[in-house]
Amino acid sequence: DMKVTQMPRYLIKRMGENVLLECGQDMSHETMYWYRQDPGLGLQLIYISYDVDSNSEGDIPKGYRVSRKKREHFSLILDSAKTNQTSVYFCASSPNWGGQNTLYFGAGTRLSVL
């Protein structure tokens, strides 16, 4: 069964703290994504990773960085979190970045920055 797993599911942090969101997939997909979802703005792309150590900024990368050291694992890091980074974060993966591949999404991480 194809699966994208996100940890943790819920997280509360104080402003200025560092945040690590983790995502794993068991499908050997090359491409992985981080999105955030906010009311009225919808889903916005933060970063794409085409494979290990091959990452590219999406539409809203400011304040975020990513790490992909293994194909099955993609991390989103917030250094010194800000209150406007309160959101629901979704990780997704697809077999590769070309063609008509479907994106498979995790269940999301709800982050609150106080």
Partner 1 sequence: QQKVQQSPESLTVSEGAMASLNCTFSDGTSNNFRWYRQHSAKGLEVLVSIFSDGEKEEGRFTAHLNRANLHVSLHIREPQPSDSAVYLCAVCDNYAQGLTFGLGTRVSVFP
The structure tokens listed for 57 are 């900024």
Among the listed residues 71, 62, 76, the one whose alpha carbon sits nearest the alpha carbon of residue 93 = 71
Enumerate residues 20-39 that contact partner 1 by CB under 8 A. 31, 33, 35
Region of 11-19, 61-69, 76-84, 89-97 interacting with partner 1 (CB under 8 A): 89-97
CA 45 to chain centre: 9
102 forms part of the interface with partner 1 (CB under 8 A): yes
Query: Cβ-count burial of 37 within 10 angstroms (0-12 exposed, 13-18 middle, 19+ buried)?
Result: middle
Binds partner 1 (CB under 8 A): choice among 19, 21, 23, 48: 48
Interacting residues toward partner 1 by CB under 8 A: 4, 31, 33, 35, 40-43, 45, 48, 56, 58-59, 90, 92, 94, 97-108, 110
